Amino acid sequence: MAEIMASLKKLFAGYSMWFLLVLLYLGLGLLIPSILTPVNLQNIIVQGTVVGCLSLGMAFVILVGNIDLSMIAIAGFAPLIGIYSMEILGFPFFAGIIVALLTGASVGLFNGLMVEKVKIPSLIQTLISWWIFWGLVLILTGGEVKSTFSPEWNWVGTAWVGPIRAVIILFVLVVVIVCLFASYSKTGLRFYLTGGNRVSAQAAGINTSNIVILAFVTSGTMAAIAGYILSARLGLVSPRFAEEWFMPAIAAPVISGFSLTGGRGNFINVIAGAYIVQIIVVAVRLAGLGGWYEQLTQGLLILIAVLIDIFRKRLIGIKA
């Protein structure tokens, strides 16, 4: 019995975010019963795929002690380039998707090189990239919505595979790949070592500069995936594309246990954190408190995330 209790305690400690997710959802269901309906549950799961992808990308950058503010601009810019490669260059839709992913990775590479080689702080560099690529989206779209994509491009966002939305299957596949890469590969371990103690990681022969650059490349790629999913779901790209997921993408990794100073975090818990944030946002909307209240909620989520990180460090004896 003692061994069983110890195992349950370890399970709860390692995956407490998932227990919190279930309790939060059921608790909000008592206050807002409509959130428990199958339709709204499906909406939460589908909408969470975007913030989930963004949060996973952000987690890699946070893990190495940096931050990426350019993700939302990449989420708009990357699919737009993919779509134009199809319309102007005549690429087939799968090549357009590859172009979109390569675009996101390239912006991430640009951010990583500027941070590591030019030594621009990540906060400043990614803010610069945000404005540059947001500006390019505005120029390319003329400030208007870009729509009427090919049915093949939109398939992931609209199709069903049996009783399951295709976008959910794609998201699960992405999550599995990311979690296996982060937890079981040598490169994944190097992310943790670099963020935990960069000097020690360098002494162990790790090229920490390349690891940080790779973190930004991964972040850019995940932002491109999020942008593709959203564009396929909505059938459009707009100048303010994915903007509402900016704050949640930052809050989710920190709420789920990633330290803002790097070195700690469990990627599977990021998904629980992302859905916790998504449920809160949906609850605010269902309660009829959208608009300004939604912005207030997102700001409070960031505050809560930072406070959680500070208290977690104090609890385990780490100075902020």
The first and second tokens of residue 304, run together, are: 């809560």
The whole-number pLDDT of residue 114 equals 97
> What three-state secondary structure class fits 133?
helix
Nearest Cα neighbor of 253 from 274, 238, 235 is: 274
The whole-number pLDDT of residue 232 equals 94
- List the chain pLDDT tens, one digit each, 320 residues: 666 666 656 555 567 788 888 888 998 898 889 899 998 898 899 999 999 999 999 999 999 999 999 999 999 999 999 999 999 999 999 999 999 999 999 999 999 999 999 999 999 999 999 999 999 999 999 888 888 678 899 999 989 998 899 999 999 999 999 999 998 999 999 999 999 999 999 999 999 999 999 999 999 999 999 999 999 999 989 888 878 888 888 888 988 888 888 888 899 999 998 998 888 888 888 877 766 676 777 677 777 767 776 776 566 555 54
> What three-state secondary structure class fits 137?
helix
CA–CA dist 57, 83 (Å, integer): 22
The whole-number pLDDT of residue 117 equals 96
CB 318 within 8 A of CB 196: no
The whole-number pLDDT of residue 2 equals 62
The whole-number pLDDT of residue 312 equals 60
The whole-number pLDDT of residue 243 equals 82
Nearest Cα neighbor of 85 from 228, 251, 299 is: 228
